[in-house]
C-alpha cells in the first residue's frame, strides 16, 4: 500500500514550534528535540514550512537560496540530523518548495536588476515595460494577493525609473517565469538536492499559480474563486473552465508536474508531492492528482465548508466523486498557517455557504469559544474518519484558538501593512506552541530567553502539551486516541464510505469492515434511531456522552459495528 494514501501529516511551522537557543524564534534543533510529541501523537509524517535562507518578508515564503537553511533556524547539518532522527522514529519528512517566486534577495533577481532590460537574467522573471506615458502605469491590472498592484517598478542602474516586475505576493517575492527552461531545470535540481538528502517529498506552495496566460492579458472581471455551485449546475460534460483566469489554475501547470513526477519516481523509494492549490472546484483540483502528476492535493473545499450537515455532506460527496475519477485519495485539512484556527471559525454563527473566512469578518460576530472547541473536536474526528489522508497544523491537536487580539505593533504578516490594515493577517494562528509551565513562553524557549517572536496569551497554561497530556478529556488525548484507532482499525484511512440514513442535522456513514461514524452537527442533542447502535460499541467520542441513545450537540462518535 502506498503510505501517502492514508497518511496523517503534521505541519510544523518552524518559527513557532520550539526554540532551542533562546532567541524567541523556533529552530531545527528545537524541532528535533520535540519529535517525540509527534510519535506520541501518532502521525505518519511531518511537513516543515520553509526553512531556507530568507529575508522573512513573508515568513520564509520568500526564499533567497533553495539549497541552504535559514541561519536563524540552523544549518544543513541540523537539517540532516533532523531528517535522520525522524526516519529513525518512523516519521517521514516533507519539505515546502516555493516554485512560484523567489525572494528579491535571491542571486537570480539581483542579477536581473543589474543586467537590465532584454537580458537573459531578466527572462527568468516577468519584467515588462509599463503602460501609459513614460511607462508610468503597471503592465496590466493584476493585483497582489496581499493588496495593491502585482507590479513594482525598478530603478535601472543609470538611476532612471525603468521596467516593472510581477509579484503575485509581496514586492519581495518576484514571480518566476515558468516558460523559461532554465527555471524548470533549476527547480528540478532543487528537488533532487533535497531528495538526495533523504527527504520524502514536498508540499508545493501556490501550485496553481506557476503558469501565466501568454501575453499577460488584463484580468478584467474574471471572477476568482469560481463559485463551486456552477460546476454542479453545468454537469460533468460541459467544457471545463480551462484557462479562464490569467494566472490561476491554468492548464500549462500540469506539464510541470508531470515532469516533477518523473523526478520523484526516479528514486527507488518513491517520493511524494502534495499541492497547495486554491482551486475551489473539486473537478479542477482532481486534475492535479492524475496518475502521472502529483500524489495528493489539499482539499480546501472542506476547510472552507461551514459547520452545516448538508454543506459538509455535499463537499464530501463532491470531493470523493471527483477524485475517484482519477484514482487519487482525498487529503482533508481544517487548518494551516494561512487560515483562522478552526476553534475560532466554529465559535461563530456559521455562514450559509462555502468560502474563505477572514479574521476581521469574524470579529464582528458573537463568539462562543466553548461551542467552537466542541465543533473543532467533532470536525477533527469527522475528518480523521473520512477516506484518504489528513493534515494537522501544529497546535490544532491542542485545540488552540486563533489569537485574535494581537497588538497592531506585534503583527508581522505582510498582509496587514500591504492592505493598509484592512486585513488583520494570519499571525493569530502562528503564535508559538505552548509546551509546559503556567506562563509564557510555556516551554517554547529555554529559561531566560528573548520574548517569543509573537506574544502568547496569558491564559494558555491549561492548553500546553504537558497539561493536556495529563488530562484524558483534553483535545490532545482525543487526537492521540483517534490516531491510535486509525492505525489499528482496518476500515480507516484510504477506501470508501457508505452513507447511512440519519436524522436531520446529523451525518452518518459506515466503512468496511465494521466501522461507523456519526456526527451531530446541530445545536441540540439528537436521539439516535432505535437499533442504530445495537451490537456496536463506541470507540471514540469527541465530547462526553450522556446516554448511549443520544448524540449530544456538536459531537462525533466512532463506533465499531
Interacting residues with ligand GLC (CB under 6 A): 58, 61, 98, 169, 205-206, 276, 337-338
Q: How far is the CB of 414 from ligand GLC (least distance, A)?
A: 8
Q: How far is the CB of 101 from ligand GLC (least distance, A)?
A: 7
| Nearest to ligand GLC of 389, 425 (CB atom) | 425
Q: Is the Cβ–Cβ distance between 130 and 163 less than 8 Å?
A: yes
The dihedral of CA 66, 300, 10, 389: what is its sign?
Answer: negative
Q: Is the Cβ–Cβ distance between 329 and 347 less than 8 Å?
A: no
Q: How far is the CB of 395 from ligand GLC (least distance, A)?
A: 16
| Nearest to ligand GLC of 98, 467 (CB atom) | 98
| Nearest to ligand GLC of 104, 338 (CB atom) | 338
| Nearest to ligand GLC of 19, 205 (CB atom) | 205
In angstroms, the CA 456 to CA 449 distance is 14
- Encode 199-212 in three state secondary structure: CCEEEECCCCCCCC
In angstroms, the CA 469 to CA 463 distance is 10
Q: Residue 264 is placed in which grid cell?
A: 520523484
DSSP at 506: E
- Encode 414-437 in three state secondary structure: HHHHHCCCCCCCCHHHCCCCCCCC
Residue 392 dihedral angles phi and psi, to the nearest 5°: -125, 130
Residue 286 exposed, middle or buried by CB count within 10 Å (0-12, 13-18, 19+): buried
| Nearest to ligand GLC of 9, 98 (CB atom) | 98
Q: For Cα atoms 302, 307, 308, give the angle at the middle one, nearest 5 degrees.
A: 100
Q: How far is the CB of 98 from ligand GLC (least distance, A)?
A: 6
Residue of minimal Cβ distance to ligand GLC: 61
Q: Count Cα atoms within 13 angstroms, Cβ side, for 423.
A: 20
| Nearest to ligand GLC of 142, 558 (CB atom) | 142
| Nearest to ligand GLC of 15, 337 (CB atom) | 337
Q: How far is the CB of 3 from ligand GLC (least distance, A)?
A: 24
| Nearest to ligand GLC of 276, 427 (CB atom) | 276
DSSP at 228: H
Q: How far is the CB of 337 from ligand GLC (least distance, A)?
A: 6
| Nearest to ligand GLC of 6, 100 (CB atom) | 100
Q: Count the Cβ atoms, other than its own, within 10 Å of residue 325.
A: 13
Q: How far is the CB of 15 from ligand GLC (least distance, A)?
A: 12
Q: How far is the CB of 480 from ligand GLC (least distance, A)?
A: 27
Q: How far is the CB of 22 from ligand GLC (least distance, A)?
A: 26
- DSSP H stretches of helix in 11-91: 28-33, 35-41, 76-88
User: With the CA atoms of 296, 301, 304 and 310 taken in that order, what torsion angle do they form, in degrees rounded to the nearest 10?
Assistant: -130
- Cβ-Cβ contacts under 8 Å for 258 (sequence gap 6 or more): 292, 293
Q: How far is the CB of 197 from ligand GLC (least distance, A)?
A: 23
| Nearest to ligand GLC of 44, 205 (CB atom) | 205
- DSSP H stretches of helix in 133-180: none
Amino acid at each position: 500500500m502506498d503510505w501517502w494514501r492514508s497518511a496523517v501529516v503534521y505541519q510544523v511551522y518552524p518559527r513557532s514550534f520550539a526554540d532551542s537557543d533562546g532567541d524567541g524564534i523556533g529552530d531545527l534543533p528545537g524541532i528535533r528535540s520535540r519529535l517525540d510529541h509527534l510519535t506520541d501523537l501518532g502521525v505518519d509524517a511531518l511537513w516543515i514550512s520553509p526553512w531556507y535562507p530568507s529575508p522573512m518578508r513573508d515568513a520564509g515564503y520568500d526564499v533567497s537560496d533553495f539549497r541552504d537553511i535559514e541561519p536563524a533556524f540552523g544549518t544543513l547539518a541540523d537539517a540532516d540530523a533532523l531528517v535522520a532522527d525522524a526516519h529513525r522514529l518512523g516519521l517521514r519528512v516533507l519539505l515546502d518548495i516555493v516554485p512560484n517566486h523567489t525572494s528579491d534577495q535571491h542571486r537570480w533577481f539581483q542579477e536581473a536588476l543589474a543586467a537590465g532590460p532584454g537580458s537573459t537574467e531578466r527572462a527568468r522573471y516577468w519584467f515588462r515595460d509599463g503602460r501609459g506615458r513614460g511607462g508610468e502605469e503597471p503592465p496590466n491590472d493584476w493585483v497582489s494577493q496581499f493588496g495593491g498592484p502585482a507590479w513594482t517598478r525598478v530603478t535601472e542602474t543609470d538611476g532612471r525609473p525603468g521596467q516593472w516586475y510581477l509579484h503575485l505576493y509581496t514586492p519581495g517575492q518576484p514571480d518566476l517565469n515558468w516558460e523559461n527552461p532554465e527555471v524548470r531545470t533549476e527547480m528540478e535540481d532543487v528537488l533532487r538536492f533535497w531528495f538526495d538528502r533523504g527527504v520524502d517529498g514536498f508540499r508545493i506552495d501556490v501550485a496553481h499559480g506557476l503558469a501565466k496566460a501568454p501575453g499577460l492579458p488584463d484580468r478584467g472581471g474574471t471572477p476568482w474563486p469560481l463559485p463551486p455551485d456552477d460546476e454542479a449546475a453545468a454537469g460533468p460534460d460541459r467544457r471545463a473552465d480551462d484557462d479562464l483566469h490569467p494566472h490561476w489554475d491554468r492548464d500549462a501547470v500540469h506539464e510541470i508536474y508531470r515532469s516533477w513526477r518523473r523526478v520523484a519516481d526516479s528514486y527507488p523509494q518513491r517520493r511524494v508531492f502534495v499541492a497547495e492549490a486554491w482551486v475551489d472546484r473539486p473537478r479542477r483540483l482532481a486534475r492535479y492528482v492524475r496518475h502521472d502528476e502529483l500524489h495528493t492535493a489539499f482539499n480546501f473545499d472542506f476547510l472552507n465548508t461551514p459547520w452545516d450537515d448538508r454543506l459538509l455532506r455535499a463537499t464530501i460527496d463532491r470531493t470523493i466523486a471527483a477524485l475517484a475519477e482519477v484514482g487519487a485519495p482525498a487529503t482533508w485539512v481544517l487548518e494551516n498557517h494561512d487560515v483562522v484556527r478552526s476553534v475560532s471559525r466554529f465559535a461563530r454563527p456559521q455562514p450559509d455557504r462555502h468560502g474563505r473566512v477572514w479574521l476581521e469578518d469574524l470579529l464582528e460576530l458573537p463568539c462562543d469559544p466553548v461551542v467552537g472547541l466542541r465543533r473543532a473536536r467533532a470536525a477533527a474526528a469527522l475528518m480523521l474518519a473520512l477516506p484518504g489522508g489528513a493534515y494537522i497544523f501544529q497546535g490544532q491537536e491542542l485545540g488552540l484558538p486563533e489569537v485574535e487580539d494581537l497588538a497592531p505593533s506585534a503583527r508581522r504578516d505582510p498582509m496587514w501593512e500591504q492592505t493598509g490594515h484592512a486585513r488583520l493577517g494570519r499571525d493569530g494562528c502562528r503564535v508559538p506552541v505552548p509546551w509546559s509551565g503556567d506562563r509564557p513562553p510555556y516551554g517554547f524557549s529555554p529559561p531566560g530567553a528573548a520574548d517569543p517572536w509573537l506574544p502568547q496569551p496569558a491564559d494558555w497554561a491549561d492548553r500546553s502539551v504537558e497539561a493536556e497530556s495529563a488530562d484524558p478529556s483534553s483535545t490532545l488525548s482525543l487526537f492521540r486516541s483517534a490516531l491510535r484507532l486509525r492505525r489499528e482499525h482496518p476500515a480507516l484511512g484510504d477506501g470508501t464510505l457508505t452513507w447511512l440514513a440519519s436524522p436531520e442535522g446529523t451525518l452518518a456513514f459506515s466503512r468496511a469492515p465494521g466501522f461507523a461514524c456519526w456526527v451531530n452537527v446541530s445545536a441540540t442533542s439528537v436521539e439516535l434511531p432505535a437499533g442504530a447502535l445495537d451490537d456496536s460499541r463506541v470507540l471514540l467520542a469527541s465530547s462526553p456522552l450522556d446516554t448511549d441513545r443520544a448524540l449530544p450537540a456538536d459531537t462525533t462518535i466512532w463506533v465499531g459495528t
